[in-house]
A and B are shown apart, each in its own frame.
Chain A
């Protein structure tokens, strides 16, 4: 049988890639990443510092825009950002060293790793850098870092003794909290230098890190000069958010119309609505996506800019293509699925149930709410699940309309997160598959994403089938 073979092949292909991906990730980590990790952490602390500074500065500026005595604060902020200068210099130095080291290690490490495939000796490397020597050069940051930290601490301390005067109450509050954060930051500098000193390049990376880095990684950074990360979390969150919006819209509409068509509508109405909804399901997804770009995105943004929508805290939105745009279009795709299956489930409730309910004096609404819906509940739920499967697996609409920004949305905005652009699992495959080098780690990572998607939809479908099977037994 061809079909079973296909399924098996799909699995085998997927798991083959899984193994290779794991090996690749591990090799990659061993080759150069671990050295870079701590320096990177350092760089990130610094980046966090400067970002904090920038944020506070912006806030102060905004608060003070009416007052106009920005000069003192500007001086303060300028002095503060200057204090980070040496750290910046160190980071960029270490950055260069680490990159060179990584290059050398890859050059030295790759031929030995794939020596079976390429038998010829690695003559290509002109001037092999001695890894140990450059490692020692890199490690000189161990000593430099505490010194710089010390100097910076002294500078900032002296700055903090003479803070600028702020007129605005809110600005004062945020400045207070910033001061506290800065003190915390200064306090954690010594432990960081301690960690730098303790760090050992030869410590092995456990195998499970390859899997956890993929499953729980919060970054998806590809083709960067520094370090590629393949974490599925941002994509997964994007997919789930889009699906949530779609289902929130589609479930009420789909179930409503199913109940309406099967119980309330007149016969002529029924014969019109049912084919029309089936007809909707045949709209190609790329047309819907195009429609989203051309019409819906604009409309949503225009609506959010209307004056009467002012009361919504996160309006007006800045991005035309976001979770909501994609979700509302996907809802239109999910409605026919949910409608058709839920309507089937309602029709399959034995006539006797309904008649008994009427005979007891219940009216139509009571019959629907107390008898028909409970009796067909598992069918309706499985319809919703299949709708979910369709929504999660849908590619073109999210590729065109979800905004394609690979980042976990800022949930501090509450519901506003649903109006930010995201990237999804299906979208990333479609977008990046055409451009990757075959057999590279990026390529394999995309296959892994596909496998996760496959497993997810399979799980959802399985659940739906189980529900239907159980429901048939209990009614039949």
Chain B
């Protein structure tokens, strides 16, 4: 059936218009995201970078958050952090009219450390449990009703909102086990949260190892465990780790699960300043995402808070985005190489 020429021209016009609409829609999304990156990037870099010598605001990156004191002194506007203000007080005896802005001086070093600790601990935990699960599921288990049930459970667990994980962690680890707000509770909560993603990724990597490698090893008289350890895991491990990097981004980025399991709004000691080494696991830490939440909603807003907000958001975004970028690039590379 051949349409009349005018009709055909019209359909072509409609087609072109619609395709342009699709194109605009797609680029609209990209533009929105770019705008967010640029806004946070530009305003944040004002805090993080400086014009002078080291070009990086070292105080911001290496000191704990402090209260900022703002006041007029002899016609000059002074902005001093907590410690500086106390020093200043010892030399200047006058009364000054001080506005104090919490969290807005100093830096975010404890938050960076806390996030790093949380990520390392929970990923170790999740990788350990996740890989064992995947090995069991893909190597040992036989297809049955129980296994199918487990698979359904994993799939569903992946869709559970992070706040529910937080609630669960709070109920189980913090209260039921009595660990209180601590690194350990945070590790377990976050670890459980990324577990489904890691199990799925590990299983896929294990499946990708050709059957011939296993059969060869078994034919040479190796036991099943020897085969898995020597001949399957080494080949699957790069793939597992690559896919897990995205899990790291998720662990680092989530706020809701650690809100009441691991994060403190403010803590003066650094995590390694503990009286006994076992206390290390039972201490709360500051974390970047929670810090952003605190500074952007828990304290009154003014022109001084914006600096620390954008600075923290910038550092956080850069860290998470670098992790995500690594993961995406590695995966693209792996996809291209994926052939046995």
Hey, which bits of chain A sit against chain B, CB under 8 A? 1-4, 6-7, 9-10, 13, 17, 252-253, 256-257, 259-261, 264-265, 273, 275-280, 282-291, 293-295, 332, 335, 339, 361, 363-366, 386, 389-390, 392-396, 399-400, 426, 429-430, 433-434, 438, 446-447, 450, 453-454, 457-458, 460-462, 465
Is A429 in contact with B22, judged by CB distance below 8 angstroms? no
Besides A287-B40, A332-B29, A426-B161, 19 other A-B contacts (C-beta < 8 A): A3-B150, A252-B25, A253-B29, A261-B26, A282-B250, A282-B324, A284-B317, A284-B320, A288-B36, A291-B40, A293-B296, A335-B29, A361-B2, A363-B12, A366-B11, A396-B256, A400-B296, A429-B167, A433-B166
Per-residue CB contact flags for chain B residues 245-266 toward chain A (1 = under 8 Å, else 0) read 0100110111110011000000
A370: min CB distance to chain B, Å: 12
Q: Which residue of B lies closest to A16 (CB)?
A: B171
* 15 pairs of residues in contact across A and B, judged by CB atoms under 8 Å: A3-B154, A9-B172, A260-B23, A273-B26, A275-B332, A282-B250, A282-B320, A283-B317, A291-B313, A335-B29, A392-B161, A393-B163, A396-B255, A430-B166, A461-B156
Q: Which of the candidate stretches B13-21, B46-54, B274-282 sits at the interface with the other chain?
A: B13-21
B186: min CB distance to chain A, Å: 14
Is A450 in contact with B167, judged by CB distance below 8 angstroms? yes
Is B259 in contact with A434, judged by CB distance below 8 angstroms? yes
Is B15 in contact with A289, judged by CB distance below 8 angstroms? no
Which residues of the partner chain B approach A2 to less than 8 Å between Cβ atoms?
Answer: 129, 133
Is A282 in contact with B321, judged by CB distance below 8 angstroms? yes
B199: min CB distance to chain A, Å: 7
Cα A368 to Cα B246 in complex, Å, equals 33
B115: min CB distance to chain A, Å: 11
Cα A458 to Cα B292 in complex, Å, equals 30
Given the known inter-chain contacts A280-B33, A389-B159, A454-B164, please indicate yes or no for A286 contacting B292, CB distance below 8 A.
yes
Query: Is there a chain A Cβ closer than 8 Å to B88's Cβ?
Result: no
Is B136 in contact with A287, judged by CB distance below 8 angstroms? no
B313: min CB distance to chain A, Å: 5
B300: min CB distance to chain A, Å: 13
Hey, which bits of chain B sit against chain A, CB under 8 A? 1-2, 11-12, 14-15, 18-19, 21-23, 25-26, 28-30, 32-33, 36, 39-40, 129, 133, 136, 149-150, 153-164, 166-168, 170-172, 175, 192, 195-196, 199, 246, 249-250, 252-256, 259-260, 289-290, 292-293, 296-297, 306, 309-310, 313, 316-317, 320-321, 323-325, 328, 332
Q: Which of B156, B259, B313 contacts A430 (CB 8 A)?
A: B259
Interface centre among B149, B156, B159 (most CB of A within 10 A): B159
Given the known inter-chain contacts A256-B26, A257-B29, please indicate yes or no for A394 contacting B133, CB distance below 8 A.
no
Cα A1 to Cα B146 in complex, Å, equals 10
Which residues of the partner chain A approach B310 to less than 8 Å between Cβ atoms?
Answer: 294
Given the known inter-chain contacts A13-B168, A395-B163, please indicate yes or no for A294 contacting B36, CB distance below 8 A.
no
Is B328 in contact with A458, judged by CB distance below 8 angstroms? no
Q: Which residue of A lies closest to B312 (CB)?
A: A290
B2: min CB distance to chain A, Å: 7
Which residues of the partner chain B approach A293 to less than 8 Å between Cβ atoms?
Answer: 296-297
Is B30 in contact with A430, judged by CB distance below 8 angstroms? no
Is B320 in contact with A450, judged by CB distance below 8 angstroms? no
Cα A358 to Cα B149 in complex, Å, equals 43
Cα A293 to Cα B167 in complex, Å, equals 25
Cα A453 to Cα B306 in complex, Å, equals 34
Given the known inter-chain contacts A290-B296, A400-B297, A454-B164, please indicate yes or no for A284 contacting B316, CB distance below 8 A.
yes
Cα A259 to Cα B1 in complex, Å, equals 27
B45: min CB distance to chain A, Å: 15
B289: min CB distance to chain A, Å: 5
Is A393 in contact with B328, judged by CB distance below 8 angstroms? no
Which residues of the partner chain B approach A273 to less than 8 Å between Cβ atoms?
Answer: 26, 30
Cα A290 to Cα B317 in complex, Å, equals 12
Cα A457 to Cα B324 in complex, Å, equals 26
Which residues of the partner chain B approach A253 to less than 8 Å between Cβ atoms?
Answer: 25-26, 28-29
Q: Which of A13, A260, A287, A332 contacts B26 (CB 8 A)?
A: A260
Cα A376 to Cα B332 in complex, Å, equals 25
B4: min CB distance to chain A, Å: 14
Which residues of the partner chain A approach B195 to less than 8 Å between Cβ atoms?
Answer: 3
Is B14 in contact with A365, judged by CB distance below 8 angstroms? yes
Cα A4 to Cα B133 in complex, Å, equals 11
A336: min CB distance to chain B, Å: 9
Is B160 in contact with A454, judged by CB distance below 8 angstroms? yes
Q: Which residue of A lies closest to B154 (CB)?
A: A3
Which residues of the partner chain A approach B289 to less than 8 Å between Cβ atoms?
Answer: 284, 286, 396
Q: Which residue of B lies closest to A369 (CB)?
A: B18
Interface centre among A259, A265, A429 (most CB of B within 10 A): A429
Given the known inter-chain contacts A279-B321, A282-B249, please indicate yes or no for A290 contacting B292, CB distance below 8 A.
yes
Q: Which of B18, B160, B253, B325 contacts A393 (CB 8 A)?
A: B160
Given the known inter-chain contacts A253-B28, A275-B328, please indicate yes or no for A426 contacting B1, CB distance below 8 A.
no
Is B22 in contact with A257, judged by CB distance below 8 angstroms? yes
Q: Which of A3, A279, A450 contacts B328 (CB 8 A)?
A: A279
Which residues of the partner chain B approach A291 to less than 8 Å between Cβ atoms?
Answer: 36, 39-40, 313
Is A264 in contact with B157, judged by CB distance below 8 angstroms? no
